[in-house]
Amino acid sequence: NAGVTQTPKFQVLKTGQSMTLQCAQDMNHNSMYWYRQDPGMGLRLIYYSASEGTTDKGEVPNGYNVSRLNKREFSLRLESAAPSQTSVYFCASSLRTEAFFGQGTRLTVV
């Protein structure tokens, strides 16, 4: 029962570097999401994809891009990392109702 799988689990970047966070789900869910979690601020939505081929901005999209590669995979890209993007990133998926989350990626930008 893999559920939602995120890679990598940990990453340290230098300011200005780029990277892609990968997410895959095996539950045949239509919707997928990227959140970031910061102390005292809860989880905030970065981007979401209601179905394959569509993506929409969430609350905090600046500095990020996403790709819904197929129904299973939804990637998050940081083109030029900044210290303000130091956070824990969570991918989630849902089929209209219940949401399931990955284990998170802890990203530090120095």
Partner 1 sequence: KQEVTQIPAALSVPEGENLVLNCSFTDSAIYNLQWFRQDPGKGLTSLLLIQSSQREQTSGRLNASLDKSSGRSTLYIAASQPGDSATYLCAVGHRNTGNQFYFGTGTSLTVIP
- Can you give the binding site for partner 1, defined by CB under 8 A? 31, 33, 35, 40-45, 48-50, 56, 58, 90, 92, 94, 96-104, 106
Residue whose CB is less far from partner 1, 33 or 64: 33
- Nearest approach, Cβ of residue 16 and partner 1 (Å): 27
Task: For the CB of residue 50, give the shortest distance to partner 1 in the complex, in Å.
Answer: 4
Q: Amino acid letter at 15? A: T
Q: Which residues contact 1 (CB under 8 A, 6 or more apart)?
A: none
Tell me how far, at minimum, the Cβ of 86 lies from partner 1, in Å.
15
Chain position carrying tokens 């299973």: 72
Query: What is the arrangement of strands in the sheet containing 64-68, beginning at the earlier edge strand?
Result: 4-7, 19-25, 74-78, 64-68
